[in-house]
Amino acid sequence: MNPESRRLHTSRQRNGRTPEDNSCFRSCLTMKRRQTLKAKEKIQTLAELTLKVKSTTRMWKNRELISFISPSNSPTARS
């Protein structure tokens, strides 16, 4: 038995985890990482949508302001 594996073996005995526990622990971590990545993607999507809504709202406000300042250019004045 090489010193590296002996050290791992003794640490395993010390912390009371079996190889099966470690495997379960690793798969749980992997699942948590996946959930974190999905959550980050959702946050990114929400941030992008928020920016689109803000810019669209700004555009409509500008359009309303322009139509208020010069009613001759507004669509309602033409009809």
| Three-state SS at 79 | coil
Q: Which domain does 59 fall in, by range?
A: 3-78
CA atoms lying within 13 Å on the CB side of residue 71: 3
Structure tokens at 1: 């038995």
Dump pLDDT digits (tens) for 21-78. 778 888 888 999 999 999 999 999 999 999 999 998 888 888 887 887 776 655 554 4
C-beta of residue 71 within 8 angstroms of C-beta of residue 77: yes
Structure tokens at 71: 């009613």
Structure tokens at 28: 């749980």
Local structure of residue 54 (DSSP, 8 states): H
Number of domains in the chain: 1
- The pTM (predicted TM-score) of the whole model is 0.48
